Structure 1
Amino acid sequence: MNEALLRAFIYGVEMDREKAMNIPSLAGAILKIADTVAAIPIKLYKRNGDKNEVVEDERTVLLNEDTGDTLDGYQFKHALIMDYFLGKGGYAYINKSGRKIESLHYVKESNISFRENADVIFKDYQIMVQGNTYDPEDWIRLLRNTEDGIRGKSIIEENKESLSVAYTALKFEKNLVSKGGNKKGFLKSERRLKKEQMDELKAAWKELYSNNGENVVILNEGMDFKEASNTSVEMQLNENKKTNGIEVCKIVGTPPAMIEGKATERDEKIFIKYEINNVLKALETAINRAMLLESEKGEYYFEADTDDLNRSDIEKRYAAYGTGIEKGFLQVDEVRKKEKMPQLGVEFIKLGLNDGLLDPVANKVYVLNTNKTIDLNKLRKGEEEGELNLENNPSSLTDTSMQSGEIAGQSGTEEPEKNL
């Protein structure tokens, strides 16, 4: 083990972004999240009572397709997520012309600095880039574990020791491989060697461990090679690699099976529910805060369209649709829309044969057994008129009851005569 590696084990490694991304499990986990989030489209919705309507807007084009900058929509979101995990946050400048957003410009977090006030309650700051000062309202700011709303905390900053162990183990493995797997040991000489002999021996030994050919060292008479025993670290290298990989995945919040390509349906659900959804919510909040006009807030909102992300395999999906249609809380056209198929214009809700078909738009019921259509509006109007007549002329109910009683009484007196 060389001196630099020994110092790393004793004193630790000063981790940075470049070193962190050399750890396979960390790079795989973060790239998995960034790739997934970047592929999800952002849509603009309008609240309209109980309904949320999709609104066509140029801002969604900037977020999903063409940012107006050198990056496209996918690359733009991908870069923000990478800085979210590995830096102080994801930052993007919003280029406006009046109230209209013309373009979005991602800026690498290492190029961002701040000018802050000293008030810990009423915090205020400005963003500085290459000597220019900008108001934070003109920026999308995606911050992880922030305490001041100005800068976030990276995974590297929060987990220096754990990542240092994983990185040092990687360097240790590289050191072993660079020596061609040759056993470590020490040379023993029966007589004292001169400096020239020592230098020549060191050069030959270095050539042997350089792993650049089938090198051979011939020992002179009186010299012997004593093999050193393997350390516990060497003997458990593979086991340590697995353990370190699992620990790094825990840091990011990604099931290890997702990185290994052995993910089960349960692993995928955990990944989406506890990691992807959280990152998406942070991204949505940052976009809503920065890209909505003050007059739009409360009525409009940006949200990720996760329909494709949550889609299961076709067999389970179609079975779920069948249940929804059978129970009456899904319509055929709603299912076809989810599957990106042309809609048929069918506005009926399928009910049981004894219930018929309900048209919620026209408020009519078609009864299959009787082949009749009932207009619920007219039916309700008739009931209301009947109730109104009853309120205006309550004696009609009494008269009707008395007439019914007289008829019943006459029927009762005539019946015995008939029997006689």
Structure 2
Amino acid sequence: MKWPWSKKKEERGLYEDLVELYTLLQTTITEDNIDREKAMNIPTVSGCIRLIQDTVKTCPIKLFHEVEGKVQEIKGDPRLSLLNDDTKDTLNAAQFWEAMIEDFYLEGNSYAYINKQRNQIKSLHYVEESAVSINSGIDPIFKDYDIWVNGEMYKPYEFLKITRRSKDGVTGRGILETNKKILAVAYNSLIYENILAKTGGNKKGFIKAESKLDRPAINELKEQWNKMYSQNSENCIVLNKGLSFQESAATSTGMQMNENKITNADEICKLFVVPPTMLGGDGKANDNDYEKFIKLAVLPLLRAILAALNKDFLLEKEKSSFYFGFDVKELLKGDIEKRFRAYEIGIKNKDTNY
């Protein structure tokens, strides 16, 4: 006969075992930590960023002055040379924008120090996002902040700041923060594929023994096993009497690797609003895909850059009538030609409602 309290004791013991098992699972299955190095190892991530970088670099920045409704392009301003050619730093303008755009997408923040002498901008210096600290004020309405680099404090107007998904104008959120799950899935798939390549695609399994193996036999088996799964010519092992290989069941992940890669790549392209065909390299991208890429991926970034330049690169007295702009005629050339053709057809058909 069991005493009444013995059942409670068994239940309590079972509960403690479940808690211990849950704790063990929590410690072994940890959340993936995707940093920028891992993210840039994902081909779709680096491909999207490179495509956007190369597109932006082809667009020269210009300065305009509007007076009484008339817009005049300003040429020869020293600031244009800094933005388009030589920053007077170790980076040229093309390298400067590459670094700024990479930080923008990955970290959500990109910073550059504006070196001024008596209201004249002499040089522009890219600063790594990790080297910048922001000390924000506590007022949620009249927001203010200081920028710290290497223990030195700087005011907001001393830095060019381009942010993504920002709520204060100085700190943003990059895909490493907002989309870490899909990046982890893609990166882990890449690691899994790398393991398959290293092992030559050999099937996984385990060794069954009729009797307990001694330590020398175990060590010999491990050595042969490592040789089999290494990248060399010896791709077989000899099993002694009483040992047999039991193949483990194939997982859905392994069987659907190629389909998963395509799906993951398409999902990552959505983060950058880049049509997947733009990265395919198979010639399937058409004019419509290119137009979507320019209008949905590139132009919003250009708008963010211009907003930052008009805020931080102009003097207060200039802000009412001067503004920066990108020359995007070449990017939109196909779209403009379509409009002219449509207008021409309308004229021929005596229909000018275009």
Q: TM (normalized to structure 2)?
A: 0.85
Structure 2: distance between partners of 1:281 and 1:194: 70
Taking a change above 3 Å as real, the CA distance of residues 148 and 264 of structure 1, as seen in their structure-2 partners, is same
Listed one character per residue, the Cα deviations across residues 3-46 of structure 1 (whole Å, up to 9, x for unaligned) are xxx99994331111111111111111111112211221110011
Name the amino acid aligned to 1:297.
K
Taking a change above 3 Å as real, the CA distance of residues 12 and 178 of structure 1, as seen in their structure-2 partners, is farther
SS for the counterpart of 2:334 is coil
Structure 2: distance between partners of 1:44 and 1:16: 37
Deviation of the 1:317 alpha carbon:
4.0
2:40 paired with 1:18: no
- Residues 146 and 152 of structure 1 are in contact (CA less than 8 Å); yes or no, is this contact kept in structure 2? yes
2:81 paired with 1:30: no
Name the amino acid aligned to 2:195.
N
Name the amino acid aligned to 2:74.
V
Segment drifting more, 154-163 vs 181-190: 181-190
Structure 2 partner of 1:290: 312
Structure 1: distance between partners of 2:255 and 2:116: 60
Structure 2 partner of 1:275: 297
Bigger Rg, which one: 1
Structure 2: distance between partners of 1:217 and 1:322: 71
Structure 2: distance between partners of 1:244 and 1:87: 21
Structure 2 partner of 1:63: 83
Structure 1: distance between partners of 2:27 and 2:231: 23
Taking a change above 3 Å as real, the CA distance of residues 7 and 173 of structure 1, as seen in their structure-2 partners, is farther
Structure 2 partner of 1:395: none
Structure 1: distance between partners of 2:124 and 2:259: 46
Q: TM (normalized to structure 1)?
A: 0.72
2:271 paired with 1:241: no
2:164 paired with 1:144: yes
- Residues 88 and 109 of structure 1 are in contact (CA less than 8 Å); yes or no, is this contact kept in structure 2? no
Task: Name the % identity.
Answer: 44
Structure 1 partner of 2:285: 263
Structure 2: distance between partners of 1:21 and 1:318: 37
Segment drifting more, 178-187 vs 231-240: 178-187
2:95 paired with 1:89: no
SS for the counterpart of 1:71 is coil
Structure 2: distance between partners of 1:50 and 1:212: 74
Name the amino acid aligned to 1:269.
E
Segment drifting more, 85-94 vs 233-242: 85-94
Taking a change above 3 Å as real, the CA distance of residues 274 and 88 of structure 1, as seen in their structure-2 partners, is closer
- Residues 94 and 139 of structure 1 are in contact (CA less than 8 Å); yes or no, is this contact kept in structure 2? yes
Structure 1 unaligned blocks of 5 or more:
1-5, 328-420
Deviation of the 1:64 alpha carbon:
0.2
Structure 2: distance between partners of 1:30 and 1:83: 10
**Where do residues 142-221 of structure 1 align in structure 2 (5 Å cutoff)?**
142-221=162-241
**Residue of structure 2 aligned with 1:39, choices 52, 58, 65:** 58
- Structure with higher RCO (Cα < 8 A, 6+ apart): 2
Name the amino acid aligned to 1:216.
C
- Residues 108 and 165 of structure 2 are in contact (CA less than 8 Å); yes or no, is this contact kept in structure 1? no
Structure 2 unaligned blocks of 5 or more:
1-24, 348-354
SS for the counterpart of 1:205 is helix
Name the amino acid aligned to 2:192.
F
SS for the counterpart of 2:125 is strand
Listed one character per residue, the Cα deviations across residues 223-281 of structure 1 (whole Å, up to 9, x for unaligned) are 22222231111110000000000011111211111111332111111111111010000
Structure 2 partner of 1:115: 135
- Residues 42 and 304 of structure 1 are in contact (CA less than 8 Å); yes or no, is this contact kept in structure 2? yes
Give the superposed CA RMSD: 2.3
